Amino acid sequence: MNSLQFLQRVIVFWDAAENPIFLRMTSHPPVWRGMAAWAARSTGLILLLGGMGCYVGTALAFYASSVLVLLIPLLAWWALLLGLTLGPVIVQEREAFTWEILLTTPLDLERILVGKAGGALWWLRDVIRVITGIVLLFALGIGLVSLVLVPFSFEGSDFPGQVLCAFSVLLPLIGALAFIADRAQHFVLMALAALAAGALAPTLRAALVAGTVAALGAWLADVALGVVAITLFGAGGVDAVLLATLGPAAAYLIEFAPGPLVGATLATLLLREIAVRALWRIVLRTARAS
């Protein structure tokens, strides 16, 4: 399964209504649901943690000289939610001795896994909508930044004015689409990492920890990939905060000229797609052997 198929079937719930496993999963709340309900009732704790978060976030923003650092705790929280949601979806069936029963149904293994993952993420649908809106908002900003950078990218070149005009029109759209594709694929990578790590875990508690660590690890691996690319081919320094929050596509736009920018972006998407397919094969193999 590639990234686009995973997005369609698991995140966008493409064929959810036709999948009985999905409908079954939506009636079973995830393990963090009770904790979230308890936290929602603990007004004093929320105010304390919120105040501390605002103070620490403001201090970090001043220290890093970037407001983007405020997104890091939110992204870490998102990775935690993904790990706690997708990590235990297979182990729960094993511990309830129902996984073998699911495998005997007329549904193929891929459809069972898609239904379970999509049903689990159904409980995060509101968060997914918010994150999608934020990504689209930043994509608009990336497009505007790419428009501003056009004159500097071609400064001193012999390109005809018509070519520069065409790039001025197309580059913002291409930059925005590349950013959306980069973040969507990164989300798929984190989700599949959590799912694969949870499938390999022997117990529910281990699956919760493994899924969370794997989601965070996929996030950090993506940052490391951007650091390596910019270190090898970039002319400036590495902005770790930009990489950790907006991802490699946005960082490449700042560091690279148009030629290397396209090459680095395509190489990053290709390497990530290879990892996505490898993780999905791990999930299938582990689930089949259960």
User: What's the pLDDT tens digit per position in 146-205?
Assistant: 666 555 555 555 555 555 566 666 767 777 888 899 999 999 999 999 999 999 999 999
Residues 13, 16, 22, 27: is their CA dihedral positive or negative?
positive
**Cα 171 from Cα 153, distance rounded (Å):** 11
Q: How far apart are CA 138 and CA 146, in angstroms?
A: 12
**Average pLDDT of every residue of the chain:** 82
Amino acid 46: pLDDT = 62
- Residue 197 pLDDT: 95
Tell me what pLDDT residue 45 has.
60
The owner of tokens 């409908």 is 23
Determine the residue type at 287: A
The predicted pLDDT at position 183 comes to 92
pTM score, whole prediction: 0.85
**What are 19-45's pLDDT values in tens digits?**
888 888 888 888 777 666 665 566 666
The top-scoring range by mean pLDDT among 12-16, 133-137, 208-212 is: 208-212
With bands split at pLDDT 50, 70 and 90, how would you rate the model's confidence at 216? very high
Percentages helix, strand, coil for the chain (3-state, rounded to 5) are: 85, 0, 15
Q: Which helix (H) or strand (E) holds 8?
A: none
Separation of alpha carbons 249 and 230, rounded Å? 11
Mean pLDDT of 1-13: 85
pLDDT digits (tens, 9 = 90+) for 44-79: 666 666 666 676 667 766 666 677 887 888 888 899
138 pLDDT band (50/70/90 cuts)? Answer: confident
Is pLDDT at 245 greater than 70 in this prediction? yes
Q: How many CB atoms lie within 10 A of CB 187?
A: 21
Angle at 76 between CA 244 and CA 38, to 5 degrees: 165
Q: Please report the pLDDT score of residue 276 as a whole number.
A: 95
Radius of gyration of the chain from its Cα atoms, rounded to whole angstroms = 21
257: left (phi over 0), alpha (psi -120 to 50) or beta: beta
In the predicted structure, residue 231 carries a pLDDT above the cut 60:
yes
| Residue 177 CB neighbours (<10 A) | 14
pLDDT of res. 195: 94
pLDDT band at 272 (very low <50, low <70, confident <90, very high): very high
Summary count for the chain: helices (H), strands (E)? 14, 0
pLDDT class of 214 with cuts at 50, 70, 90: very high
The residue whose two tokens read 């069972």 is 112
